[in-house]
A = this chain, B = another copy of it.
């Protein structure tokens, strides 16, 4: 069967009146010339129209190429015209055992490079996986036109490829599946591009070390704004595909552990009648004839669920913070992982459950998502994450002990009423050097650093029953026992300048009886900061 015989669009010169060329003895009159020019213009337009028509028909013919009988071309727009039920494979499933088998797959064309007039190399990509495919002239199957057509396909087009799996003569480094290649027998364009790519996915996926190590100008660093303005392309990098798979995995592991511990998942409202935690950084919403506010955390709703006998609840949901400072550093919307549980005897019950939860997430990621972690590490190299898994348990110390460690390391004690970000990082390095762990807990924070609903320490009212969890010197969780007694709560609210009357919907919940309880709370697909609402 012949390749699809596609007529080239005819680029015609405008038609001229032949009589002009014959050189008559007497020149035509001015009127005659005008008339001829008009006719010529008319003929030119007619011919242009015919050419446009021909182009449309050519496009239609190209679009109607039938996969069953043709070897290449543009597929008609998929309007679910038919359902041949031909199975399609994933690149990740390709391996040398499939040598000689013919497979069909849909993939993104990361790159296309023609070599001479007989061969085109393609790099095909699906999520974090890629494979090399070769379109090589083969009698009765692959024509020179097809090789050229494939070589002319734009990067990031979506193609449907039929090919035979073949063991690679040597490992192909540019592909994640490097031990096989595909010998293409058919290739169809499912979706092309309109306009230019803002950057290549390959560039966006390049490790910093590779960019810095070369003088070659082609290795462009793709800036953050360029990435975010074209997030759909940026998200296609293998790194981002892995990052968001890992984000999904963290949610899954979080729920998996908590479901096993008798928690239920709740969905608390994000529209609030009053600002919750602090008035300054809350978004105001026009709500019919009045105003509403976006929830800064599900803190109060979670606690109300405890007062409503839910016993153990968690929520994964957006939280909104109107913190400006006109920087991109604070995200205005992010996903919070929150939990709250009734306490039987002691708030350490919550702290220990949280510790087990984190260890479940750490080991789950390591054991089940190694491939995705490796993909991220390719672009962003990092040391292996270390935590204590043995019977000695997670490293814990008190806020006072943490301050002592910093003082020992040379930080003036008088600057340590609070541990700022810089000192948190420093502490991370001290702990790593001294105890060889990236993960630890600091307990017993000063009451002055915690919100009004935090339970004070029973022996020292300047301390609180609260803790932070740290990974590599960064706080990843803040948790505490909450005050469950309405009178005590009202007293502490007033001490922090909050009028209990203004939050009666919350304080009332405790008046109907509430068990002792505690909890905690904390990635972005399309990030939102004070300057970014799109895409």
Please report A residues at the B interface, Cβ cutoff 8 Å.
Answer: 77-86, 88, 106, 108, 125-127, 156-158, 190-195, 197, 230-233, 235-236, 241, 244-245, 247-248, 251-252, 255, 259, 264-274, 283-288, 292, 294, 301, 304-305, 307-311, 316-318, 320, 322, 324, 332-333, 335, 342-348, 455-458, 465, 481, 484-488, 505-506, 508-509, 511-516, 523-528, 530, 533-535
> Assuming A158-B515, A271-B333, is B287 touching A347 (CB within 8 A)?
no
The 8 A-B residue pairs with the shortest CB-CB distance, nearest first, are: A273-B533, A235-B308, A79-B458, A505-B535, A83-B346, A194-B511, A248-B264, A78-B516
Is the beta-carbon distance between A508 and B232 smaller than 8 angstroms?
yes
User: Given A304-B535, A317-B318, A345-B82, A264 and B245 touching (CB < 8 A)?
Assistant: yes
Given contacts A485-B191, A512-B232, contact A127 B301 (CB under 8 A): no
A513 contacts B191, C-beta separation under 8 Å: yes
- The CA of A274 and the CA of B534, in the complex, are separated in Å by 9
A502 to B460 CA separation, bound complex (whole angstroms): 59
Most buried by B among A80, A310, A515, A523: A80
Chain B residue at smallest Cβ distance from A198:
B512
Q: Which of B158, B235, B283 contacts A514 (CB 8 A)?
A: B158
Q: Are A348 and B77 in contact (CB under 8 A)?
A: no
Q: Which residues of B contact A485 (CB under 8 A)?
A: 77, 191
Known contacts: A294-B285, A528-B271, A533-B273. The answer to whether A515 contacts B106 by CB under 8 A is yes
Residue on B nearest A505 in the bound complex, by CB: B535
Q: A79-B456, A82-B346 are in contact. Are A197 and B126 (CB under 8 A)?
A: no
5 A-B residue pairs with Cβ-Cβ distance under 8 Å, sorted by A, are A158-B514, A192-B513, A269-B333, A283-B286, A318-B318
Q: Tell me which of B88, B108, B292, B322 contacts A309 (CB under 8 A).
A: B108
Whether A235 pairs with B305 at a CB distance below 8 angstroms is yes
**Given the complex, which residues of B lie within 8 Å of A245, measured CB to CB?**
264
Nearest CB of B to A250, in Å: 10
Minimum distance in angstroms from A355 CB to a CB of chain B? 16
Q: Are A511 and B272 in contact (CB under 8 A)?
A: no
* Nearest neighbor of A530 in chain B, beta-carbon distance: B288
> Chain B contacts of A506 at CB under 8 A?
535
Contact B266–A244 (Cβ < 8 Å): yes
**B194–A487 contact, CB under 8 A?**
yes
Bound together, the chains give a CA A367 to CA B335 distance in angstroms of 32
> For residue A251, which residues in chain B have a CB less than 8 angstroms away from its CB?
265
Instruction: Give CA–CA (A458, B78) in the complex, Å.
Output: 9
> Quick one: which of A292, A485, A505, A526 has the most chain B CB within 10 A?
A526
- Contacts A287-B533, A309-B235, A455-B80 given; indicate if A156 touches B270 (C-beta within 8 A): no
Measured in the bound complex, the distance between the Cα atoms of B284 and A488 in whole Å is 38
In contact, A511 and B266 (Cβ under 8 angstroms) = no
With contact pairs A235-B308, A487-B194 given, residues A346 and B80 touching in the complex (Cβ less than 8 Å):
yes
Q: Please give, as numbers and ranges, the residues of chain B lying within 8 Å of A273 by CB-CB distance.
A: 533-534
Complex contacts, A343 vs chain B, CB 8 Å: 78, 80
Which residues from B are CB-within-8-Å of A317?
A: 317-318
Q: With contacts A157-B513, A294-B285, A513-B158 known, is A533 near B272, CB below 8 A?
A: yes
A154 to chain B: closest residue by CB: B513
**Given A245-B264, A344-B106, A318 and B270 touching (CB < 8 A)?**
yes
In the assembled complex, the Cα of A294 lies from the Cα of B513 at a distance in Å of: 35
A513 touches B193 (CB 8 A): yes
By the criterion CB–CB under 8 Å, are B488 and A77 in contact?
yes
Question: What residue of chain B has the Cβ atom nearest to residue A481's Cβ?
Answer: B80
Q: Taking CB as reference atom, which chain B residue is nearest A250? A: B265
B285 touches A458 (CB 8 A): no
